[in-house]
Amino acid sequence: MYRDRAWWVYQPLDSSAMHEAARQLLGKHDFSAFRAAGCQASSAVREIKSIAVRKDGDWLTLSITANAFLQHMVRNIAGTLAAIGLGEQDVEWVTAVLASEDRKAGGIAAPPHGLTLVAVDYPATFKIPDAVNYSSPAAGC
């Protein structure tokens, strides 16, 4: 049922190690090591405001809130954290990957299965209206 809707990693993952490693990405950094080769952003500096790896039974959830994302940034972070969760790398490796500013230094890109954009928050200065509830009769649908 979840085929193409989640990344199935066949071995057990250490969610605690992954969470500890993820926390090292908090703050404003140059995320060049986590961007796609074809990323067209003029700057790789982004700010991760929150990041967490949570375990619920056999499921792991990676949640990231940032001021913006680079192409494949979340997929590359997930792949790097998976290598740590599998015990292939230690928790501090994520800091070395980040400092390298080299995409080849990190883990694989996780597949896009299960990647979900939950929300986009724009500054009030853009005057973008709140989301419309299309299931509401008042929405005119």
Domains and CATH numbers, the chain: 15-139 (3.30.70.660)
E strands present in 1-141: 27-30, 45-56, 59-66
**Rounded Cα distance, 141 and 124, in Å:** 27
User: For residue 103, which of 8, 39, 16, 46 has the smallest C-alpha distance?
Assistant: 39
Q: What is the pLDDT of residue 132?
A: 56
Average pLDDT on 3-29 reads: 95
Residue 136 above 80 pLDDT? no
